[in-house]
Each structure stands twice: as C-alpha cells, then as structure tokens.
Amino acid sequence: MIFGRKKRPDSEQSLPAAEAADERIAEEVDETAEPSSIEEQAALWDAEFDRDWGPFDIDEVDLEADADEVQRLDLGTLVLTPFEGMTLQLQVNKETNTVQSLLVGDGQQSALEVAVFAGPAKSSMAGEIRSEIIRTTQAQKGRIDLAKGPFGAEVRRALPVTDPNGNPAMHVSRTWLVPGPGWVLRGVLLGKATFEPDNKDAQVALEEFFSALVVRRGTAPAAPGSLLPMTVPQQAQQQAAQED
C-alpha cells in the first residue's frame, strides 16, 4: 500500500475535541474511586479506536512507494512525517547516541512528547501503563480526568509543581497511548492544547502528526514496558558534522 492516512468519509472525520470533551468522565478520578470501574470505561474507549488510520506499524505501510514523495525523518524505531511550522527537539543519551524521546512543537504554543515502549506481541499494555499513570498522579496529589480522545482513552492530568520563582503551579498534560504489534506508542500533549481541550485548532496538527507516525519495532529482545531507543536522523548527523 502507498503510505498515508486513509481518507475517512466526511461523516467519520477525526473526532473533534469538543466531542471528545463531551465524552469525558464528568468527575475527577479521586483516590477513593474504584480502579476497576475507571479501567473498564477506558477499555471500552480503547476498543472503539481503529488503528487503520494510524499510527502505523512498519509492516502496514510502504515507505518506498514511487507515488509517495513525502520527505520523512527516519529515527530507526520511529519514522516521522514533518509538517509546516514544526519544531523538533531530541532527548539524546550522549553515551549511546540514542534518542530516548522527542518533543514536537506546532509553532502555535502546543507540543507533543513522543516515546516508544516494548509491548507484548499479541496483546496490549496500554491499560497497565494508564493505570500506573493514574496511581502515580494520585500519589503526587494531582488531578486526573479520563476522556474519549482521538486515540481511545485519554488521560488528562494536572500535577502540582513549583515554578522557577518558587511559587506553586500546576503542570497540565494529556496522554495518548496506542498499542501495536510488540510496541506501545505514547504521546504526551502539552501547552495550549491541554488548557483548551475543546479547541480543535490547538491540537489538529499534532494529532495528524501522531496519526502518521510509523513504528519499526525490530527483532531485538526487550522487556515489555521498556523504552525502545531511537537513532539520531541521518540528516541531523550530517548537519552536525558540517557545523563541527
């Protein structure tokens, strides 16, 4: 197949943020909530999500198709499709020269942090990871909402932090978890799109970017839940060499 998101019928375009907001759990998930009921609702939303429109596994696409002239960034474990105005920062382990995660900005005050984890070949760890996020947030006295997002269940949380001036503040984020064959892709939405979840324009570029990601799991053994490192793109290596 030629790589690209399949065009949805007009009646099935990507879920608007306002509709996702209408589906969210009305009350915060507090420390007294029953974990089983939370996880059951999230599992139902996950089951409704169809990965036919991405993110993709490398075996599901043809990146070499002659008809596909899109210029992509290949990070080994992850292949990116840049968009106009995109900024990219790589969290690199200097000892191994591997990329642990990446931060993509849309130029409009929103950003998306992306990482890939090993997962079971024929099942999903998304529920386990989400439950751990909920428990960690509660332990840190943060606030949690669950919502039906564009990629299944979405975790919206606010963590108490201290700003650079020593004043109390809240770190707000939205987390997407998408399982594939042997991997789990995590996207953490930051900035304007988290403060304005009903604003479709504030998230559409990053949602489309996340949908177009391609995961190349490889055959190297990795414990489920462990981080799958990426490599610095060849373009970036060449640029760095020219600057030295």
pLDDT of 27 reads 36
Please name the residues in contact with 198: beta carbons below 8 A apart, sequence gap of 6 or more: 17, 18, 21
Domain count of the fold of the chain? 1
In three-state secondary structure terms, 214 is strand
- Residue 234 counted as domain residue: no
**Phi and psi (nearest 5°) for 71?**
-90, 120
**How open is the CA angle 29-35-38, to the nearest 5 degrees?**
60
- Residue 44 counted as domain residue: yes
- Residue 235 counted as domain residue: no
pLDDT of 18 reads 30
- Residue 107 counted as domain residue: yes
- Sign, CA dihedral 86-56-217-114, equals positive
- Residue 241 counted as domain residue: no
Q: Which domain holds residue 145?
A: 30-218
- Residue 66 counted as domain residue: yes
- Residue 22 counted as domain residue: no
Overall pTM > 0.85:
no
For residue 189, the domain's CATH number is 3.40.1000
pLDDT of 236 reads 54
pLDDT of 97 reads 82
Tally of residues, the chain = 244
User: Mean pLDDT per segment of 10 residues, for the chain of length 244 residues?
Assistant: 40 31 36 60 90 94 72 94 95 88 96 96 86 92 93 95 92 96 96 93 96 94 93 64 46
Asked if 149 and 15 count as a contact pair (C-beta separation under 8 A), the reply is yes
- Residue 50 counted as domain residue: yes
